[in-house]
Amino acid sequence: MKKLLITTIVFFFITLSFSQTWAPVGAKWYYSHYAGSFEELTIIESIGDTTINSKQCKILNTYQIHESMDSTGSYHWDTLFCPLQYSFQESGIVYLYDFSKEVFDMLYNFNAVIGDTITVKDTAFQGYCPEAMPGNLFEYVIDSITDTLISSIPLQKQFISPTQNSDWIFSDPWQYTDFPIYEWIGSSKFLFGIYHLQVMEGSIYCLRCYQDSILSYRASFWPDTVPCGQLRPLHNSGIESINNKNLIDIYPNPANSTLFIEFDNIINSVYTIEIYSLIGTLQLKQTSTEKTLSIDIRELSKGIYFIRIHKKDESFIIKLIKE
């Protein structure tokens, strides 16, 4: 009886210590993207320890691997590196450093109860790379809490929803998909949340895998036989349709001077082309009824943009890389 009691106590304290683990060095989060013209994969990796404001923090390195095309039309892998983030956990609360105010924001609270509101940010902020958009509020409500087992470790699972005016969220507002927050792992949407309208072709879909020396998580859609960092083969063509019906082709992408947009079906109505910067500023707008349209983009600075094409009740969004 004493041996059983001692074993139970030891297991309890081991489990308790596990529940306090956050972003151990070497931990990796892998995020899948919505299907798009180019393959993309976002990874967050805990790469070290540091001290900020007397707090022992983990250094989080975020980077996005994506396809890119050079001037010869050949595809290769390219990597976008984001600014480092700094995070720590204390007494069941995970904090994320705010560079502009030099304070820590509460990102997750595993002491919260159903109905609690978690306010991450309530003033203007830039958002989080690699899909940063400006926001004024990052806030969510705990709808329900359950227990779950991951790698045989009991963990808390929070189901949440954004407050009415929140600019940043942990869910998909247009697809009504639940992306719970897991203790130890964080949001199964994206660790730092996404802009509330950023559900489009090529943007981050959700957490594919999480791995560290103790815990291993895979989303139900990601097979056990496929490596977490798997990327599809590079494309062989500079022309890629943006939806499964092959209704629209946009090429080349990346583009330098002229962008071509071609409709495979006959156009009988007016359609509008809009090009937006990453922070949502309209750069170009053009209306046409032609089957093939050429757009001069020489005045655009190098970088990433979003093209929005809409006609009648249809709308398409695709990411554009300007070289």
Q: Give the per-residue pLDDT at 310.
A: 73
Judgement on whether residues 206 and 270 belong to the same structural domain of the protein: no
Q: If you search the block for the tokens 């707008």, which residue do you land on?
A: 285
Cβ 322 vs Cβ 284: under 8 Å: no
Give the mean pLDDT of 287-312: 83
Spatial CA neighbour of 244 closest among 42, 34, 76: 34
Q: Give the per-residue pLDDT at 63.
A: 95
Read off the pLDDT of residues 239-276 as tens digits, 9 standing for 90 and up: 333 443 446 778 888 888 999 988 766 556 788 888 87
What angle is formed at CA 29 by the lines to CA 24 and CA 32, rounded to 5 degrees?
180
Give the mean pLDDT of 18-31: 85
Query: 232 in a domain, yes or no?
Result: no
Sheet containing 271-277: which strands, arranged edge to edge? Answer: 282-288, 271-277, 303-311, 314-322
Q: What is the pTM of this model?
A: 0.69
- State the average pLDDT for the chain: 83
Neighbours of 256 (CB within 10 A): 14
Cβ 153 vs Cβ 217: under 8 Å: no
Sign of CA dihedral 71, 257, 307, 240: negative
Query: 233 in a domain, yes or no?
Result: no
User: How many domains does the chain divide into?
Assistant: 2
| Residue 54 in this model has a pLDDT that exceeds 80 | yes
Query: What residue numbers bound the domain in which 275 lies?
Result: 240-322
Strand, coil or helix: 319: strand
Phi–psi pair at 170, nearest 5 degrees? -115, 30
Judgement on whether residues 194 and 289 belong to the same structural domain of the protein: no
Judgement on whether residues 61 and 205 belong to the same structural domain of the protein: yes
Q: CA-to-CA distance for 147 and 285, rounded, in angstroms?
A: 50
Read off the pLDDT of residues 93-148 as tens digits, 9 standing for 90 and up: 999 999 999 999 999 999 999 999 999 999 999 999 998 889 999 999 999 999 99
pLDDT confidence band for 174 (50 / 70 / 90): low
Read off the pLDDT of residues 191-245 as tens digits, 9 standing for 90 and up: 999 998 766 667 898 999 999 999 999 999 888 888 999 887 665 433 333 443 4
Burial status of residue 278 (CB atoms within 10 A of its CB: 0-12, 13-18, 19 or more): middle
pLDDT confidence band for 295 (50 / 70 / 90): very high
pLDDT confidence band for 314 (50 / 70 / 90): low
Listed residues 187, 218, 249: the one ending a domain: 218
Query: 227 in a domain, yes or no?
Result: no
